[in-house]
Amino acid sequence: MVYFNTTGLGSEDQQTVDIILIAFNVCIFLLSMVTNSTVISAFCRFHCLNTIHDKLILNLCVLNTVILIGVPTFVIKIRFYEWLEATKFMCFFHVTAIHGGLMTSLLIQFGLGIERYLCIKASWNEAYRKKYFWIYITISYLFGFGFIASPAFGWNNWEEERYCTYLTFPATYRRLLFITPGLILVTNLLVHLLLYRISRGQMRRISLTTGGTVQKMSVQSRKANYNAVTTILSLSIVSAMFWTPYCVLVPLAKYLNVSERNFIFLFRLSFSLVTFSSLSSSFIYCMRNRHFKTVIFYMILRDDRCVH
């Protein structure tokens, strides 16, 4: 991220690492744009993708695309760091795009868990849940991007620093910038693990069901909930794996004052993992979500059929 002063070292080894990271990020960027755009196109084309679960996944794809905006800036930064770090607009834009997208996407993932919980335990019908869907989405976007963008509206030390370094941002903001997504990551994992335990219990009860037994939920609904829970649990695990180095190791390395060479390598490698996360997560819900998998197959065949 550009608010760290990570000017290049100019060595041949550093240039080789830079070239490898640039090539990796560009390839992942292009693949991620294709996969996320495919899901967004499928949603726009097939109106049967209208459940709350489907719409939350759509928002994750949109947010993945927003996070990927940071890749071109990251590539430019490696080659033209002096210009980029001395440009106030690019500094705050890059921070807002990456961390705002991260914060909001984690809240959307949390919303996926809450949606499944209300469906499984509270047994709220979909019409009732839809009343609160857009409220939650709006709050997630306002909080995710609103807090991250706040330094761009005067809460910064740019007049003193005149450079996009760590000290450009207030101390409270710098701490919350990494603590908040870390807390959401942990909360997401705990919620999704709880849901997985609940859905596993339902599946065990299905195996004990005798013919003619009447249950509150049908066997088909229970299996659908189990598949949905395992999908969002996978998304949560992937997010935790690929975002943890960026949210934990980068600020920790800054706090421990590691050498500039090691810090630059850690930062650029961790951001590359973030880029890869945007690609892997889209594959997970395309392969695991039955609705998207079916309509994408029909879209490739240029078939307008819309089957759940």
Instruction: Give 11 or 62, the one with higher predicted confidence.
Output: 62
DSSP letters, 175-232, are HHHHHHHHHHHHHHHHHHHHHHHHHHHHHHHHHTPPTT---SS-HHHHHHHHHHHHHH
What is the reported pLDDT for 221?
62
Q: What six digits make up the tokens of 238? A: 């992937």
User: Over the stretch 8-43, which tens digit does the pLDDT of each residue have?
Assistant: 445 566 677 778 878 888 888 888 888 888 888 888
Segments making up each domain of the chain, as ranges = 12-205+217-300
Q: What six digits make up the tokens of 63? A: 């947010």
What is the reported pLDDT for 220?
58
**Which residue in this structure is represented by tokens 């705002």?**
100
DSSP E strands in the chain: the ranges are none
Region 51-74: what's the mean pLDDT? Answer: 83
Instruction: Give 174 or 224, the one with higher predicted confidence.
Output: 174
Under CATH, which architecture does the 12-205+217-300 domain have? Up-down Bundle (1.20)
Cβ count near 45 (within 10 Å): 14
Q: pLDDT band at 142, cuts 50/70/90?
A: very high
